[in-house]
Amino acid sequence: METNTETLKYLPLNDVHVALGGKMVPFGGFIMPVRYSSDITEHNAVRQNAGIFDVSHMGEFWVRGEKALDALQYLTTNDVSKLEIGQAQYSCLPNKQGGIVDDLLIYKVQETDYLVVVNASNIDKDWAWMTANDPVGAEWENRSEQTFLFAVQGPKAAGMLQSLTSFPLDSLAYYTFTRTEFAGVKDVVVSATGYTGAGGFEIYGPMDQAEKVWNAILEAGTPLGLIPCGLGARDTLRLEMGYSLYGNDLSDETSPIAAGLGWIVKFNKEFIAKDLLAKDKAEGVKQKLVAFVLEEKGVPRSGFSILSATGEVIGKVNSGSISPVIEKGIGLGYIDSAFAKIGTEIKIDVRGRQLKATVAKLPFINQSVKS
Amino acid sequence: MNFPENLKYSKDHEWIRVEGEYGYVGVTDFAQNELGDIVFVEITSLGQVVKSSDIFGTIDAVKTVSDLFMPVSGEIVEVNPEIEKTPELVNSDAYEKGWIVKVKLQNAAELNDLMDAASYKKSIGLA
């Protein structure tokens, strides 16, 4: 791997992951566990039972004060004013050209306190962008290095974690959260969100308590089948749901409208590049991000060409893998909008073999997201 | 990890087991472990003569894809029929049921350029 190891950061629990058998690889500027046992075992554990991911590499910013709402309204595309205390919202940061600086989650923690969670590889970029383009001057604090984030994902997550808190976890609706004592640690954010579509929780707390909380979760969950899971499973789980990955499917050059994120762009407020995105929406975009499933045996990979049924190049694959659940090659890619309708027959050029594929509806699997 | 003494190993992480004028070729335990779950093995060279170190196919894991390189020059005379249905044999039994192709050796002298188990282990930092 041609990565400059000098600039890579280690997770605070790196030694814990190594001791658990984690295979550590560079990702997003960090040395991260890619798998502990096998990608498919970990994937299936999350779909059927539960798995725990250490995603403490993610970035956490706090935005506070009377001006916090106005700052976030202008910097992000979704309508932050709709958030009640205890609710989370998926959104993105548009740049001035109508591309995407990052996609993110916003949590309304108090009336004037918001927690913003960003991608690890974008922490420095987002921090610079948000603080420089905040038009009103909210209070900003970057707590990325002081905050752990564990995702405990899967249909059995609530049952495994309930012994660690008095808060009734089953009562947390999707995209809501609570701040509560958890595993003996105060003010832990327990959020019914995730990147897998399998249900479960994302748990944020102070980094100096990370090992204590990790061990408490494993101790409570292991007898019930909880296993540690790595980035390999995280990627196939998100891809089966069709969730975008920044750097693969989203970039500074992609419009959220083209990326299928029109549902998080709300035009009833002012925000960066509103006019450009309104134009994208009204006039349509040349290329759209579509999901596709291979009808023949093969695995699509990032960069492979997407062809029309008659063989002309109409786009390329941004994310591709195999779905452990449907056992077919699946992927996401931008293609000419004329071919973007669900059911359209296309082809994927897999190293010179043109394999039949179909533009598919998301998610690829039958999975009702529930925690 | 396991590296049988009766095999020869290449720097590209393939092994070969010689039986007379034929050899069985697969990927090493180290390679399958690096790749993760194997989901698809594509051999495009059946019936062809492939030179030593040239590509004879590709191997797809869930997370990544890798080319397969010939450890010695030879004609690909057979592809393991089992791995089309059950590619995970490459993970579970890399040296026996997980063999990938059978080749007719062209130049047995090339076997001397390959590593024995001890040298291979050393090359991957395990000795």
User: Which stretches of chain B score pLDDT less than 50?
Assistant: none
Q: Where are the beta strands (DSSP E) in chain A?
A: 9-10, 23-27, 30-35, 51-54, 59-64, 88-94, 100-110, 113-118, 139-142, 147-153, 177-182, 185-191, 200-206, 227-228, 287-294, 305-308, 313-322, 329-336, 345-350, 353-360
CA distances from A316 to A25, A95, A332, A335, A358 (A): 26, 23, 9, 7, 14
Q: How many CA atoms lie within 13 A of A168 on its CB side?
A: 3
Determine contact: B1 vs chain A, CB below 8 A.
no
Instruction: List chain B residues with CB under 8 Å of A35.
Output: 36, 63
Give the whole-angstrom CA distance, residue A25 versus residue A1.
9
Give the whole-angstrom CA distance, residue A336 versus residue A276.
19
Instruction: List chain A residues with CB under 8 Å of B36.
Output: 34-35, 38-39, 232
Rounded to a whole number of angstroms, the distance from the CA of A37 to the nearest CA of chain B is 9
Rounded to a whole number of angstroms, the distance from the CA of A298 to the nearest CA of chain B is 7
H helices within chain A, ranges in order?
14-19, 39-48, 68-75, 123-133, 157-161, 210-221, 231-241, 274-283
Query: What is the structure's pLDDT at B126?
Result: 87
What ipTM score was computed for the predicted complex, to two decimals?
Answer: 0.88
Rounded to a whole number of angstroms, the distance from the CA of B69 to the nearest CA of chain A is 16
Both tokens assigned to A296: 């023949």
Nearest residue of B to residue A296 by CA position?
A: B40
Tell me which residue has tokens 């999350």.
A46
Determine contact: B37 vs chain A, CB below 8 A.
yes
Determine contact: B48 vs chain A, CB below 8 A.
no
Q: Considering CB atoms only, which of B58, B63, B65 is closest to A39? A: B63
Contact (CB<8Å) B60/A297 = no
Question: Nearest Cα to A84, choosing from A62, A65, A111, A60?
Answer: A111
Query: What is the structure's pLDDT at A206?
Result: 98
* Edge-first strand listing for the sheet containing A88-94: A88-94, A100-110, A113-118, A59-64, A139-142
Contact B22, B77 (CB under 8 A): yes
Query: What is the structure's pLDDT at A129?
Result: 98
Give the DSSP letter of residue B120: H
Query: What is the structure's pLDDT at A5?
Result: 52
Contact (CB<8Å) B65/A299 = yes
Contact (CB<8Å) A235/B40 = no
Residue of A27, A32, A322, A328 to mutate for B, most B C-beta atoms under 10 A: A322
Tens-binned pLDDT, residue by residue, of chain A (371 aa): 444 555 899 999 999 999 999 999 999 899 999 999 999 999 999 999 999 999 999 999 999 999 999 999 999 999 999 999 999 999 999 999 999 999 999 999 999 999 999 999 999 999 999 999 999 999 999 999 999 999 999 999 999 999 999 999 999 999 999 999 999 999 999 999 999 999 999 999 999 999 999 999 999 999 999 999 999 999 999 999 999 999 999 999 999 999 999 999 999 999 999 999 999 999 999 999 999 999 999 999 999 999 999 999 999 999 999 999 999 999 999 999 999 999 999 999 999 999 999 999 999 998 655 43
Contact (CB<8Å) B40/A324 = no
pTM of the model: 0.94
List the Cα angle A254/A82/A107 in 5-degree steps. 70
> Cβ contacts of residue A311 below 8 Å, gap of 6+?
A347, A354
> Cβ contacts of residue A19 below 8 Å, gap of 6+?
none
Contact (CB<8Å) B36/A236 = no
Determine the length of chain B: 127
Q: Considering CB atoms only, which of A38, A297, A351 is closest to B37? A: A38
Residue of B60, B64, B85 to mutate for A, most A C-beta atoms under 10 A: B60
Q: Considering CB atoms only, which of A40, A297, A301 is closest to B37? A: A40
* H or E element that contains B41: strand B38-43
Tell me which residue has tokens 């191997």.
B59
Rounded to a whole number of angstroms, the distance from the CA of A359 to the nearest CA of chain B is 21
Contact (CB<8Å) A232/B36 = yes
Q: Considering CB atoms only, which of A39, A298, A351 is closest to B62? A: A39
Nearest residue of A to residue B32 by CA position?
A: A38
How many CB atoms are closer than 10 A to CB B4?
14
Instruction: List chain B residues with CB under 8 Å of A238.
Output: none
Q: Is A223 helix (H, G, I), strand (E, B) or coil?
A: helix
Rounded to a whole number of angstroms, the distance from the CA of B108 to the nearest CA of chain A is 31
Both tokens assigned to B86: 């059950």
